[in-house]
Amino acid sequence: MAGSYDDRDGMIWMDGALVPWRDANIHILSHAVHYASSVFEGERCYGGRIFKSREHSERLKKSANLIDFEIPYTIDEIEAAKEAVLKANGLTDAYVRAVSWRGAGEDMGVASRRNPVRMAVAAWAWGNYYGDAKMKGAKLDIAKWRRPDPATAPFQAKAAGLYMIATMSKHEAESKGCSDAMMMDYRGYVAEATGANIFFVKDGEVHTPLPDCFLNGLTRQTVIAMLRERQIKVHERHILPGELETFQQCWLTGTAAEVTPVGQIGTYTFEVGALTRGISDAYETLVRS
């Protein structure tokens, strides 16, 4: 599937029914457009099966609750919607995007309790998120924007508003010829990339930032479990920027990113080593098993 995302063939599930892709629209006065009252999930389907599908649906519901609204569909109904979209579009290997938001209604200000909560699910074929970086290692900039203090916003929610600084950071990184940017947290510790968690390797052991102010990704959790099953020591801890020069390998994890090696962050370089390759291959096997 190619072309603009608003001008494609296919079907999208929207508010309980499948509608033609080009008809899946919202009103300009939808609350989410003005106040970012929206949550979403990004999921990958491999060979007709969405990896950790139910966990994604559960997190979608939780994210909505964290930003103070209730999605009017059960987990089973959300699961059925995703399956219906894949079937309607004839997809077995795809990226699946479920999204829920406060729509247009009687309220048009910061408060929006009288506005309906809406939901949609779309799916499309999507290759490597970072292109050929999956093989040779991504190049990352170091973002000037930081992940916020947990007292600022509910960081456990996969909420649209939390990605504004990620978009700004990624745009700046791309202008410098980079694939992405690594972000610090509000204290100055290493946090994550703009849409993926980050891991480092030092002397055969793995170090990854403690997710105490950013999303603890499902892929991140999966990879940590895989490493521990292989008796590889994993340190979840605060990481200072100055430690980057001590690490030998680095990779990113995320549903879209899967497991992507990193070759450079700012002026720091990393090898795409055996541990990185091994966990990437093991993840590919797991999601297709």
Active site residues: 158
Tokens 């809406």 belong to residue: 118
Whole-number Å distance between alpha carbons of 85 and 101 = 19
Whole-number Å distance between alpha carbons of 31 and 100 = 12
